[in-house]
C-alpha cells in the first residue's frame, strides 16, 4: 500500500515538473512580446509557475515523508 502511494506521488511529481517546464517555455515566449510590466500573459504565467513550484515542493515533501528519506 505504501509503495503504491509513493508511486502515485512520484507520478504526480513527474507531471508537475513537465507542467513547470511547459509554463517556463510559455513564459519565455510571452517575455519576448515586449514590456513585462504591461504584459498580462507574462504576469499570469509567472503566477502559474509560482503555484506549480509550490506544488512541486509540497509533493517532494510528501514523498520524502512517505519514504523516510532525507534526500530530495
- Domain limits for position 51: 2-66
Whole-prediction pTM value? 0.84
Residue 70, classed as helix, strand or coil, is coil
6: domain CATH number is 1.10.287
Q: What is the mean pLDDT of each run of 10 residues along the chain (72 residues)?
A: 94 98 94 80 94 98 88 47
Report the number of distinct structural domains present in the chain: 1
Q: Is residue 72 part of a domain?
A: no
Q: Angle, nearest 10°, between helix axes 40-67 and 2-31?
A: 160
Q: Is residue 39 part of a domain?
A: yes
Q: What is the reported pLDDT for 58?
A: 98
Amino acid at each position: 500500500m505504501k509503495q503504491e502511494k509513493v508511486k502515485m506521488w512520484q507520478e504526480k511529481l513527474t507531471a508537475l515538473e513537465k507542467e513547470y517546464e511547459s509554463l517556463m517555455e510559455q513564459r519565455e515566449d510571452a517575455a519576448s512580446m515586449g514590456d513585462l510590466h504591461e504584459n498580462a500573459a507574462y504576469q499570469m504565467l509567472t503566477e502559474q509557475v509560482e503555484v506549480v513550484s509550490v506544488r512541486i515542493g509540497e509533493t517532494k515533501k510528501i514523498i520524502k515523508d512517505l519514504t523516510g528519506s532525507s534526500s530530495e
